[in-house]
Structure 1
Amino acid sequence: MRRQSQDIGRPQKDGRKRLGRAGEDEAASFLKRKGYVLAARNYRAKVGEIDIIAWQDARTLVFVEVKTRTGLSYGKPAEAVNYAKQRKIIRTAQWYLLQKHIDGCRCRFDVIEVYAMTAGAWKVRQIEGAFEM
């Protein structure tokens, strides 16, 4: 009986993972269309993970947290990027900069909200400078 209850929850979790991955794909495409050059996706370090790292121009590196939703029942997606999550992203960004020996560039922390609309359409909203170091 216990095993059945675990299996019941799994499809919903898998659906959220697929939605999140699709939202990240849409956010990456959105940034590319705006002329950003992607440096990394799903960058992982021992201190955390960053969804997208991209160069806006030759001197500005942008660390992006992507939040995807199908509706507003849990609030706006960016509201999920609380203070603790921001600190984790900042620590991970510092790790990335050290690992890649990047120095002297401007860094910015953005949040991209992705809304899954009907009929496979997406609505994307970029919040530039959503938080700071």
Structure 2
Amino acid sequence: MTGTQSRAEIGALGEQLAADHLSQLGLRVLARNWRCRYGELDIIVADDAARAVVFVEVKTRTSDQFGGVEQAVTATKVRRLRRLAGIWLGQQQDNWASVRIDVITIRIGRRRTPEITHIQGVG
């Protein structure tokens, strides 16, 4: 399945699976692949019930070659995500009761259906 797909295609598939997962949880997608000069936020969702905004980093893997979930997002990456989240929030009119950073890892190819791991509140 992944033999002929590029990294970009695999990443895009993972982000679509993650967005679908978040929507099934009742979260509303506000933005995907939001970019500024400092980097990119994969998915931004609203948890309307909690008046929370959630910044979601998506990591798609086809093997364990680069480590598992624990290695997917380092402390340095979390600091960068916080900075990007702050920039995004500064451009918004909404007032959020809380802000959270989540990580979703998608493991493709080991099983027939993708394995989704959703870790809430990493930073």
Structure 2 residue 20 is the aligned partner of structure 1 residue 29: yes
Superposed displacement of residue 56, structure 1? 1.8
Name the amino acid aligned to 1:38. V
- Pairing of 1:12-91 with structure 2 (within 5 A): 15-58=6-49, 59-91=51-83
TM-score by length of 2: 0.87
For structure 2, the residue ranges without an aligned partner over 5 or more in a row are none
Superposed structure 1 runs of 4+ greater than 4 Å apart: none
Which has a greater percent of helix?
1
Name the structure 1 match of 2:118: 126
Q: 2:86 aligns with which of 94, 106, 112?
A: 94
- Pairing of 1:99-110 with structure 2 (within 5 A): 99-110=91-102
Report % sequence identity. 37
Largest Rg, 1 or 2: 1
RMSD across aligned positions (CA): 1.9
Q: Is contact 2:52-2:96 (8 Å) kept?
A: no
For structure 1, the residue ranges without an aligned partner over 5 or more in a row are 1-11
